[in-house]
Amino acid sequence: LMGGVQDLYKICGLFLFGFSSTLHALDLRKVESDYWTDRYDPYFRKQAKHYFGPLVDWHWFKAQGIAESDLRPDVESHKKAYGIMQLMPSTFEEIRLKGSGFGRAQIEDPRWNIAAGIYYDRYLFLTFSPIDDVSERFNYTFGAYNAGRSRILERVRRVGGEEERWPLWSNLNATLPTETSRYVERIHKLME
């Protein structure tokens, strides 16, 4: 899936020891708390394993769902993104048409919304495959999910990075919209 056994070992290490980035102190509840429902955990667990393999901690994607919508399945943003994973209808439709098994999927159904969100995470993760450090690659993945892939790539070019030499997320982060920086930080904080 992600380049063989070496990537699997890197991912295992990443999720066993956590991301190594400096975070601002945020007053947030953790992924595993009585505050958040566990209702959707089987979907997050199944789709994380399906798209990222058995060594990936599915809680990262639940943290992303919390950051996106507070796990509310019927929330719609002012930009018309919908559901737990806050997918744009056009993105969902593209996934539905291209993604294996999504033929009858509906954006309103939490299981399909979560599946499509994690499917899209995998697409972004593979987009950033030239980044060797898996934790950095996930920072880019979550950042691109929030800000858009093209915006992240444009910022990489702006700070003088190249596909052979990607800037550290912390260096790129300073050039991103505050919303995106806070989004990635919130996912990390929820996992502490």
Confidence of residue 160 (pLDDT cuts 50, 70, 90): confident
Angle at Cα 145 formed by Cα 144 and Cα 146, nearest 5°?
Answer: 90
Helix, strand or coil, per DSSP, at residue 162: strand
Q: Which of 138, 126, 120, 119 is nearest to 184 (CA)?
A: 138
pLDDT of residue 173: 84
pLDDT of residue 23: 32
C-alpha torsion 141→190→179→47, nearest 10: 40
Q: What are the pLDDT digits (tens) for 14-66?
A: 443 343 333 333 345 688 877 888 999 999 999 999 999 999 999 999 999 99
Residue 52 CB-density burial (10 A; 0-12 exposed, 13-18 middle, 19+ buried)? buried
End-to-end CA, the chain:
27
pLDDT of residue 192: 86
Residue 83 CB-density burial (10 A; 0-12 exposed, 13-18 middle, 19+ buried)? buried
d(CA 165, CA 156): 10
d(CA 184, CA 160): 22
pLDDT of residue 165: 75
Span 116-131, average pLDDT: 95
Residue with tokens 């950051």: 67
d(CA 40, CA 45): 9
